Structure 1
Amino acid sequence: MKWSWRIARIAGIDVRVHATFLLLLLFVGLDAHRRYGSVEAGFVGAAWVIVLFVIVLMHEYGHAFAARRYGIGTQDITLLPIGGLARLERMPREPRQELVVAIAGPAVNVVLAALLWAGLHLAGSPPDPTSAGFASQEALVGRRIAERLLAANVILAVFNLIPAFPMDGGRVLRALMAWRTGDFRRATMRAAEIGRALALLLGLVGAFGLGRIVAPNGMLVLVALFVWIAAASEAAAVSEEGELAELPLSRVMQTDVRTLSPDESLARAVEQLLAGFQQDFPVVEHGRVVGVLARRDLIPALKTHGTEAPVRAVMRTDFIVATPEEPIEEALARLKACGCQALPVVRGQTLLGLLTLDNVGEYIMIRAALRGAR
């Protein structure tokens, strides 16, 4: 995700923080300083936000570990002002699997809330707040922090289970509907409709409040906007996948492919790139695909090696390929998982074509235009 930076790698998953999250810390710190009139209050406010987002991170790892159980990796987890986002390599298509993955995040919050409740229960009655003893005051502060963490976990669990797709509750709803009907696409569309309706309601509550129960809240409006856009995006993605279901790569792949030889210079690659034919080039030697030279590798290589360096010094040899009979949906999943821009289509080791996201997008647009014409 753009404007985000990696801050850690835990259990093989990159943890990233978005620039807007830093703005949230600054806003909360300045607001606490304004309200309480001390620098310490500002730092405490910002620290509390960090603690809350550690809980959010644990929530997202719940999703990631549940997905890993089904062989689905997680590209990264990004912390945003409205919460966390775990980018799975692909979403499970089995309703039972999606149900487990979706419920795993809120389940983490439920477990944390139960542990905090048990700890408070075992600690007994809270100390007397009028006591002058340092130990009593310290115990009281610790108890209040635990109570606030307990409340935060309960709120996170309940809020995420609201059936507003694509939030966790919406994914649970889709999984249950798909389980009952056996139609994943229809279940997605129905869940997206419900999600948009709830987003509209949430946005109205955030903008105008709900009498004396809920005051107007800008954060609710932002969450509603996110849910609305994400629900529409997910529905569109599933609709596109329906267009591609069981369609072989040979129907969509680019067949007019420019290739490079491993012994050619990078200057030749620059010529091909500037000619506008394509951005990624299969490297072919004796009729076999032996590598891929991607634009993202070519540009940095020009700075360090110049134009006279051979292609073999820069090309990737750990590339993945597809076959012309392979369903597009499967190839696209692998293309997105590796972060590649193009996928050589081969039979044996002979190059037949190239699959790019542009090819797929153009095919979908053409199909949509033809449907409109009919």
Structure 2
Amino acid sequence: MSWSFPIGRLLGSEVRIHATFFLLLLWVGASAWGIGGAGAALSNILFVMALFACVVAHEFGHALMARRFGIRTPDITLLPIGGLARLERMPDRPFQEIAVALAGPLVNVVIAAALWLAGFGPSTSLALETSAGAFASALLSVNILLVLFNMIPAFPMDGGRVLRGVLAIFLPRLRATLFAVRIGQAFALAFAAYALWSGNFLLGLVALFVFLAGNAELGQMKSRAALSDLSVGDAMLRDFTHLSPDAPVSAAAELVRSSDQSIFPVVGRDGKLAGFVEADAILEADGGGRIADVMEADVMSLPMSRPAGHLLDVLGERHAIGVTGPSGRLVGYVTQGSAARLLRRRASR
């Protein structure tokens, strides 16, 4: 996600903070300073940081449950309106989606229960409290509120994903998504109306996110439906030139100048994909070195028999995906452009 930067890795996922999060801390600190001075500002900033630590724990609940179903979570980003765990794909089975969606709020239930058992009851005031007991009580209350708010059936919030999962038990997944998105957008309009009435800027941002993210996921589901009878092999480029990792960059540069190919698979002696290298990267490095020095080695491949819809899960963050035959050797590759052309052909039918 743009405007975000990494702060470390935890449990296999990169944790990132969006730059606008610091604007939230600045706003909270300034507001509290005007009411209660430096002590109140520090207390409120610390409270927001503790709250967002709970939000990160919530997102790791999703990530760890997704891992049980073989789904990676490349990164978790902290935003002013909450956290976002970016799963490499959403579970296809309804009960798996329900489990992943519920795992996040369950973490907040555990945190609230732990604080309760430690002797801290819910607080009715969340502002300008400086004692440790008041701080913990307010944190308990906010975790309860996080559970209640996240379980509102406003897709793609957790409650909305649970709703989509339940609907998908009885309906085709696209139709279940359509119902869940429309219900979520109705909630988004209600959030926006209340935000305008109350002046709650953050709730307005949540409303905008719910509305736009719901549309985006519905569009992706329609794309999947359009590709439902196709395989990855149907989208791959079959006529291409590949390079060896040991090939000199200077020789590859001569090849690039006489070719209209913009990205080159790099194939090892075993016939398997070792990386990709873009034509521009070869030309920029012309003068010395090997292809292995300039190629992108963090690549992935899919079997040519895999449903083409899987490309939508992986191509968003990658320029190209290798395609393998039964033996595991490279037989082609798919770029964002070739996948888009396949979708356009299907849309025009």
Correspondence for 2:237 among 254, 258, 261:
254
Whole-Å Cα distance in 2 between the matches of residues 178 and 349 of structure 1?
A: 34
**Pair 1:171-2:161 in alignment:** yes
Q: How does 1:44-59 map to 2 (within 5 A)?
A: 44-59=43-58
Amino acid at match of 1:75: P
Cα separation, partners in 2 of 1:96 and 1:349, compared to 1, 3 Å: closer
Correspondence for 1:186 among 175, 181, 197:
175
TM-score by length of 1: 0.82
Runs of 4+ in 1 over 6 A off after TM superposition: none
SS at match of 1:120: coil
Superposition deviation, residue 319 in structure 1:
4.5
**Pair 1:162-2:145 in alignment:** no
Amino acid at match of 1:344: G
Q: How does 1:258-297 map to 2 (within 5 A)?
A: 258-270=241-253, 277-284=260-267, 288-289=271-272, 291-295=274-278
Whole-Å Cα distance in 1 between the matches of residues 90 and 13 of structure 2?
A: 17
Superposition deviation, residue 6 in structure 1:
1.2
Question: Which digits, 9 at most, give the CA deviation of each residue in 1:113-171, with x for residues without a partner?
Answer: 222223226x9xxxxxxxxxxxxxxx992221122011101110000001000000000
Contact 2:232 2:306 in 1 (8 A): yes
Structure 2: segments with no counterpart, 5+ residues: 122-128
Cα separation, partners in 2 of 1:28 and 1:194, compared to 1, 3 Å: same
Whole-Å Cα distance in 2 between the matches of residues 323 and 29 of structure 1?
A: 52
Which range moved further: 352-361 or 260-269? 260-269
1:109 alignment partner in structure 2: 108
SS at match of 1:17: strand
Q: What percentage of residue pairs aligned between the two structures are identical?
A: 41
Q: How does 1:52-91 map to 2 (within 5 A)?
A: 52-91=51-90
**Pair 1:307-2:287 in alignment:** yes
Cα separation, partners in 2 of 1:320 and 1:227, compared to 1, 3 Å: closer
SS at match of 1:150: helix
Amino acid at match of 1:341: H
Question: Which digits, 9 at most, give the CA deviation of each residue in 1:12-71, with x for residues without a partner?
Answer: 2211111111121122122222333x3343333222211110011111111111111222
Whole-Å Cα distance in 1 between the matches of residues 19 and 231 of structure 2?
A: 41
Q: How does 1:1-374 map to 2 (within 5 A)?
A: 1-36=1-36, 38-120=37-119, 141-181=131-171, 183-208=172-197, 215-270=198-253, 277-284=260-267, 288-289=271-272, 291-295=274-278, 298=281, 302=285, 307-315=287-295, 319-333=299-313, 339-347=317-325, 348=327, 351-368=330-347, 370-371=348-349
Higher alpha-carbon Rg: 1
SS at match of 2:76: strand
Superposition deviation, residue 350 in structure 1:
5.9
Structure 1: segments with no counterpart, 5+ residues: 124-138, 209-214
Which range moved further: 148-157 or 65-74? 65-74
Contact 2:273 2:330 in 1 (8 A): no
TM-score by length of 2: 0.87
Amino acid at match of 2:334: L
Number of equivalenced pairs: 341
Whole-Å Cα distance in 1 between the matches of residues 181 and 211 of structure 2?
A: 9
Whole-Å Cα distance in 2 between the matches of residues 193 and 98 of structure 1?
A: 19
